[in-house]
Amino acid sequence: MADIVDRATRSRMMSGIGPRDTAPEIDVRRYLHAAGLRFRLHDRGLPGRPDIVLRKFRTVVQVHGCFWHRHKGCRFATVPATNSNFWSAKFAGNVARDRRSSRELKRRGWQVLVIWECQSRRAVAADRLFWRIVSNEV
């Protein structure tokens, strides 16, 4: 299937997608802050610059987009039909980088929690995340 916009428009649209302050990330931050948790954002001193760092609980929260980080079984984790080889390699690199970062964080004694974009919209998932943080459940 051909793209519905020209190359320049698609390029502009894709370049507007940033790694920080995404809508799901802001939703999770808003929820955790309202629940009384205080945190730092995108700590450069930690591998992978985690989205949310809760030093008190030695926990990091990664808010992953289903499309970019390949949420298994999610309807948002599609592969574009155009230039699929490029996209497959791009996604594989993202997933490998996520694994390396998580492994290194765990090696340093951090608890790594992931909440997916599609889960961030549900209050139950945010509640579960909160309780995993405060109980230090792995």
Q: Residue 23 has what pLDDT?
A: 84
List the CATH code of the domain at 16-135: 3.40.960.10
User: 48-61 burial by CB neighbour count: b if 16+ within 10 A, else e?
Assistant: bbbbbbbeebebbb
Residue 15 has pLDDT above 80, yes or no: no
CA distance 30 to 23: 10
**pLDDT reading at 83 higher than 90:** no
Distance, in Å, from the CA atom of 27 to the CA atom of 52, rounded to the nearest integer, reads 12
List the domain boundaries for the chain.
16-135
Amino acid letter, 123: A
pTM for this entry = 0.82
The pLDDT tens digits of the residues spanning 26-67 come to 999 999 999 999 999 999 999 999 999 999 999 999 999 898
In this predicted structure, the answer to whether residue 138 has a pLDDT above a threshold of 60 is no
**In this structure, what token pair is assigned to residue 130?**
């909160």
Confidence of residue 10 (pLDDT cuts 50, 70, 90): confident
Going by pLDDT thresholds of 50, 70 and 90, the confidence category of residue 76 is confident
Could you list the beta-strand ranges (E) of 18-94. 40-41, 52-54, 59-64
Q: Yes or no: say if 52 and 94 are a contact pair by the CB < 8 Å rule.
A: no
